[in-house]
Structure 1
Amino acid sequence: NGIRDSYCRSRPVAERVEIAITKFRKNRKFTDERNRIFSSYLAYGGIQSGQKSFQGGGLSNGGVDENGEPDFAAVEAGVDLVEEPDDGSQIDFTNVVTTFLSQHFLKYSGWVTMGYHQEAPVVISAFLKYFLTRDVLPEYETDLRAAVEVAEKAKIELPCCKVVNMALPSRFDKACMLLFQRSWSGFFEGGAWQQSAAVETLGMDLEFAERIVQSVLKSNNNVNNNSEPVSWKSITSDSRRFMDLEVVEVNIPQGRQETPTQGSSVLPTDSFEAADAENIIDSMIDRAIKESTDSTTLASGQDSQEKKDGVDVTSGGEQSWPVPTFARVILAELEQDPVSGELLPLDQRLKVQCYFEVEAAKALLKGMRVESGVTTLTNGVSYLDQSSVYPTFYLEADEYEGECEDSDYD
């Protein structure tokens, strides 16, 4: 059998991987986007790719075997070079997939469009499944199956991360920065033209910022059963800290939580550019809620705010800019025991109470990683800046040796 001969255990691991990569490329339709993702993933894992791979070259004269696969002679002309580790390190598919999708892709690849967030886990999952179905590396089957699980999880979580990151900072965060940070309030110290430009840039003026913060303070009082009226002017801010956090609780205001139906659409994988972006984002949120287990889906609908359709109805009058509704989110600092190095129990870690846009909060999952500047107000509420959200399976590589050559694509 041609396939079995190609992947015979008598062949070195590196040789079998080279053959599998070439066959995988040859028999699949690769868009430019998928080519970039796949080549970047291979380079991250230590596999060199040449230009012929992008053009499907190196195999045109080899023909196919009885199974429709390229014959071995042609495969040997492939341009993907795999070298077995010579420093004693072990091949680790799970570690490479996890660090690539959770850290490298989001921090260093430079790919910011939703299409890449959708396609990356799809391409990588298909590649790993190819190794399993073709029995390329039976000695690594357990590792490959674990890597596939990570890639499958990323199909849901990477688009969710994109949804949340696009909505940060929230309008509440921006309002707090305007009211409590001198550097932001300076936007409105110039003339009328400068102030108009500031409103266009920030999406609000000082009066709207005041109404947003006042509305959240009132909502926070309701949550804490505090009937004492509070004014934002009586609140001050503490010093800012940059923190590593995880999502532990999300409360969607009552009347704003949506339950997806069994027929909810799935993530598109081929034609993002031709589809409506807003509908795609909605379907991604729906899928994340539908496919997450009860233990990881957080939208609880516990908080109540005196609002209707996102408009503050307690102000007593019409407003040109309706005050939005926000979801209360609790984050916990990722504190480690100084002796054991283990993560401290949740009840022993510092909690941060902040507010996200409702649509973004629907895409948050328990355990998602948040890196952010955090400023806590004297009433216990915090606002975020320079924030980034990462998947629940976030893992940093032991050693980062530089960006892949495709990092300039967007």
Structure 2
Amino acid sequence: MARPPLVEVQDATNEQIRDAMDLARMNPNLSFSDALASTVGKKRARRRPKSKRGNGKPTGFEEYFADGPLTPNEHAEMLEIFNPRIEEALRRFQFRRRIEPARLNMFSKYLKYGGVEIGANITSGANNQDLKNMTKDQLMQARAMAKIQKERATLDVDFDVVLRGFMSSYFIRCFKPETEEVIKMATETIKNFYTYLLQRDVCPEYTDNMLQARKTCDLAAKELWLNVQLMREGPGPFNESCSMLFGGAFFQSKAPFPGSELEKSRKEKMEHARDVVRSAIAGAGSFEQASRFQKLVNQKRISAKKVLDIDGFDILSVIQPEAGVLEFYEKFAPMYDAVGRVKAVSFRDPAKPDPDMSPEERREWNHGKAPKYKFEFLVDKALLPLMYPGLKVISGVWELNCGVYYLDEILSIYPTFYTVIANGMMMKWKWPRDLTFEDEKKANGESKNAVYWTTDVDAPKQTARKGSPSEGDG
């Protein structure tokens, strides 16, 4: 008799594997491999090609991907299903896309930020055979993870504002992207979702709002990557040198032990910082600033003070180094990077509390009379391409007594579309549960071996909690 061809376990269904195990158990002389081959027989399961499984399978988020056109009947069905809720649209969107874990984590956070409840689907423990027996609608319902609570159905809907709040603050703080690919993954996923809603007329009354949100996605992909690079490279040699010499996050007040290697290294850094500051003020500062700086240095009276009651600055314009500045650096300081100028105004973060003030001052602030300051920073040329009008930098601002401003360590950076909403405060909020029964047990001094009596329909019986002695233990 011809021996049946060998069959790999992954090519068989769970039912065929169980039948093969039973067959091999009843016939000791028959190996499991032969039993599996005999069970599968001519109905051998075809293995899916690599393009349909694993990491190489299309996801639906590719740049070239587009959903197929809808038939009139499908379009009518969509309008009937989607109007007026978006919950069904989320089910169908997730069903038609292969969302990888990293993308799913980000998209779930975005939905939750927008007020959509996210939970585990019921297909987590199901096998392939169970999924095959489900209809399309059943499978779509089983894979659903999003749910909109009735209590939130009356809230205002604004796709663009939610996106601005999510991308400008929560996304950066939660995911801490370090590459451009991570940022594009987030913006393209959300933009793909908006495209899906627009194509199917899910919420026609918010069409303009979603179109604006799509533009915000494109803007976020550009600005957030610039912000990540500036956060990594800033504040630059000139501003860091000023902070080291005159005060700030890089200033070291405690002198190292005399004669140690640390003291020698510090002296070298300080001398290098002095050269950087002198070159920048002499080459790019005004005549008044340069002459006053030299006079104060000679008199050993140069000092700096921090600008109070602000969180940072908002950039108005970025000015590249002029030809004269480049020529100065090339001739007198070729080892250093030339500096340009950045004009900005003071910025107070609306997400942070106001500084302490008297009632009179608070009334003036509430009427728009809070003090505003204008700054002009000297910034290294290498950092200027990373800055743009509308960029908000959270950093300390210091002023030298010669009229030169410098920025301290950069703590955080916000894009032009920075928006503060309260949604981020609700990310870890959970629905309350009734603790009355637990409170009663604590009040009654419940012990671990407590016994509760329940009355059955036929006869009374004693029900003991787990861990308590049974009736027969006496």
Is TM > 0.5 for Structure 1 vs Structure 2?
A: yes
Does the Cα contact within 8 Å between 2:82 and 2:89 map onto a contact in 1? no
State, as a whole percentage, how many aligned pairs show the same letter: 21
Residues of 2 paired with 1:45 and 1:101: CA distance?
A: 12
Q: Which amino acid aligns with 1:184?
A: F
State the partner residue of 2:320. 252
SS at match of 1:246: strand
Q: Which amino acid aligns with 1:39?
A: S
Q: Which amino acid aligns with 1:307?
A: Y
| Relative contact order higher in (CA < 8 Å, ≥ 6 apart) | 1
Q: How does 1:307-326 map to 2 (within 5 A)?
A: 307-308=329-330, 313-314=331-332, 322-326=335-339
Higher alpha-carbon Rg: 2
SS at match of 1:174: helix
State the partner residue of 1:284. none
Taking structure 1 as the reference length, what is the TM-score of the superposition? 0.69
Residues of 1 paired with 2:80 and 2:266: CA distance?
A: 65
State the partner residue of 1:389. 413
- Say whether residues 1:363 and 2:386 are aligned partners: yes
Does the Cα contact within 8 Å between 2:325 and 2:338 map onto a contact in 1? no
Among 139, 147, 161, the residue aligned to 1:74: 139
Does the Cα contact within 8 Å between 2:339 and 2:378 map onto a contact in 1? yes
Residues 9 and 245 of structure 1: is their aligned pair in 2 closer, same or farther, counting only changes over 3 Å?
A: farther
- Say whether residues 1:373 and 2:441 are aligned partners: no
Higher helix share: 2
Shift of 1:328: 1.6
Shift of 1:29: 4.1
Residues of 1 paired with 2:283 and 2:305: CA distance?
A: 21
Shift of 1:375: 0.9
Higher mean displacement: 234-243 or 2-11 = 2-11
State the partner residue of 2:279. 215
Residues 27 and 10 of structure 1: is their aligned pair in 2 closer, same or farther, counting only changes over 3 Å?
A: closer
Shift of 1:212: 1.0
Q: Which amino acid aligns with 2:291?
A: E
Among 221, 239, 243, the residue aligned to 2:306: 239
State the partner residue of 2:222. 156
Among 378, 386, 401, the residue aligned to 2:425: 401
Residues 10 and 126 of structure 1: is their aligned pair in 2 closer, same or farther, counting only changes over 3 Å?
A: closer
Report the count of equivalent residues.
334
Q: Which amino acid aligns with 1:122?
A: E
Residues 18 and 303 of structure 1: is their aligned pair in 2 closer, same or farther, counting only changes over 3 Å?
A: farther
Residues of 1 paired with 2:375 and 2:206: CA distance?
A: 42
1:244-287, CA deviations, whole angstroms, 9 ceiling, x for partnerless residues?
421111112247xxxxxxxxxxxxxxxxxxxxxxxxxxxxxxxx
Taking structure 2 as the reference length, what is the TM-score of the superposition? 0.60
Among 64, 67, 78, the residue aligned to 1:7: 78
Among 344, 359, 362, the residue aligned to 1:331: 344
- Say whether residues 1:205 and 2:269 are aligned partners: yes
Residues of 2 paired with 1:365 and 1:54: CA distance?
A: 47
Q: Which runs of 5+ in 1 are unaligned?
A: 65-69, 256-301, 406-410
Shift of 1:166: 1.2
Residues 391 and 20 of structure 1: is their aligned pair in 2 closer, same or farther, counting only changes over 3 Å?
A: same
Residues of 1 paired with 2:425 and 2:242: CA distance?
A: 38
Does the Cα contact within 8 Å between 2:169 and 2:418 map onto a contact in 1? yes
Residues of 1 paired with 2:99 and 2:252: CA distance?
A: 49
State the partner residue of 2:112. 43
Residues 40 and 50 of structure 1: is their aligned pair in 2 closer, same or farther, counting only changes over 3 Å?
A: same
Shift of 1:402: 5.2
